[in-house]
Amino acid sequence: MRTPSHTLIQFSDVHVVPEGTLLHGSVDTLANLETALAEVEQAEVRPTALLFTGDLADAGDPASYRRLRAAVEPAAARIGAPALFGMGNHDAREAFREGLLGEEPTDLVRDFVAEFDGLRVIMLDTSEPGQHHGDLTPAQLDWLRDLLAEPAAHGTILALHHPPIPSPLEVLELLTLRPHAELAELVRDSDVKLIVAGHAHHATCGVLGGVPVWVAPATAYGADVLAPAGLIRGYTGGGYTRIDVYADGATATFVPIGRGAPVYELDAETLRRYLAEHLPTQG
Ligand SMILES: [Fe+2]
Ligand SMILES: [Fe+2]
């Protein structure tokens, strides 16, 4: 049996507001996240870290970040996993630092790296103040190049807000990450096992420089990928991602927020008997 060395939980596009709900009352974005956090807390899996890939406050205001922090900090403590916060196009660096991190409110680019028992997580800040598309500066790419020159024992998960792969939605294709080719060359033949992004509000997988790319669903609400050309449409319902890291790669698994009605459940004894009957015999 293949067992992951690390499991991470990714939340993206939380879009918290200072109070109440978003989009004329149709979405309680904080409640969505709180439901997702409670599901993780109640699960048996013990994640290494909680990864937040941007668009954390819908309007980038300090009150929303404080509200988010008040929800995440105690939940992360109960889960026993640190929360890693990345920037998105709806975020504002000063308020993000002040309200969410309790740091000095500077507008410096917020890239960072964290390591957990040999697994490296690199978070890139692809936000461009006042813009909705994403970009990386030559200095950021140099920083990433230097980091990747030294592999980590269990490899790297590279996280960023703007997807470095196409979107089926025209508007998102216009507002995606700019320098694809250079990033692709950096991750090619590196120890990056998986690139995870957000921004799109729809789950998508792809590839960049030979590395799998996962575009996470939003916890806040979803984008209709079958909407007619020229129209963008959102709908209620969100999700998050379970990331499992193995010796030879990593997987990303969609988790819907809120479960449907149960259709089956086997207890341990029934499952043991089932496997005994159906597994091929050795030898
Ligand atoms: Fe978003
Ligand atoms: Fe975004």
In CATH, what number is assigned to the domain containing residue 65? Answer: 3.60.21.10
**Distance of CA 30 from the midpoint of ligand 1 (Å):** 14
Which pLDDT belongs to residue 4? 97
Q: Is residue 155 part of a domain?
A: yes
Which pLDDT belongs to residue 23? 74
Give the ligand at the shortest distance from the Cα of 132.
2
Q: Is residue 214 part of a domain?
A: yes
Which pLDDT belongs to residue 253? 98
**Distance of CA 248 from the midpoint of ligand 2 (Å):** 30
**Distance of CA 170 from the midpoint of ligand 2 (Å):** 15
Tens of pLDDT along the chain (283 residues) come to 899 999 999 999 999 999 988 876 789 999 999 999 999 999 999 999 999 999 999 999 999 999 999 999 999 999 999 999 999 999 999 999 999 999 999 999 999 999 999 999 999 999 999 999 999 999 999 999 999 999 999 999 999 999 999 999 988 888 999 876 889 999 999 999 999 999 999 999 999 999 999 999 999 999 999 998 888 899 999 999 999 999 999 999 999 999 889 899 899 999 999 999 998 876 5
Which pLDDT belongs to residue 231? 87
- Are 216 and 229 spatial neighbours (Cβ–Cβ below 8 Å)? no
Which pLDDT belongs to residue 282? 65
User: Domain span at residue 182?
Assistant: 6-278
Q: Which residue has the tokens 């120890």?
A: 191
Q: Is residue 51 part of a domain?
A: yes
**Distance of CA 275 from the midpoint of ligand 1 (Å):** 43
Which pLDDT belongs to residue 144? 97
Burial group, residue 237, by CB count within 10 angstroms (0-12, 13-18, 19+): middle
Strands 156-159 and 119-123: parallel
Cα–Cα distances (Å) from 41 to 48, 75, 183, 253, in that order, read 13, 7, 35, 17
Q: Is residue 1 part of a domain?
A: no
Q: Encoding tokens for residue 209?
A: 């420089």
Which pLDDT belongs to residue 259? 86
Which pLDDT belongs to residue 135? 95
Q: Is residue 43 part of a domain?
A: yes
**Distance of CA 237 from the midpoint of ligand 1 (Å):** 14
Strands 239-246 and 6-11: antiparallel
Cα–Cα distances (Å) from 260 to 109, 216, 223, 255, 256, in that order, read 41, 20, 20, 12, 9
| pTM metric for this prediction | 0.96
Give the ligand at the shortest distance from the Cα of 87.
2
Which pLDDT belongs to residue 283? 59
Give the ligand at the shortest distance from the Cα of 88.
2
Residues lining ion ligand 1 (Cβ < 5 A) are 13, 55
**Distance of CA 56 from the midpoint of ligand 2 (Å):** 9
Residues 6+ apart with CB under 8 A from 150: none
Instruction: Please give the tally of structural domains in the chain.
Output: 1
Q: Is residue 199 part of a domain?
A: yes
Q: Is residue 283 part of a domain?
A: no
List b or e across 30-49, with b for residues whose CB sees 16 or more CB atoms inside 10 angstroms: bebbbebbebbeeeeeebbb
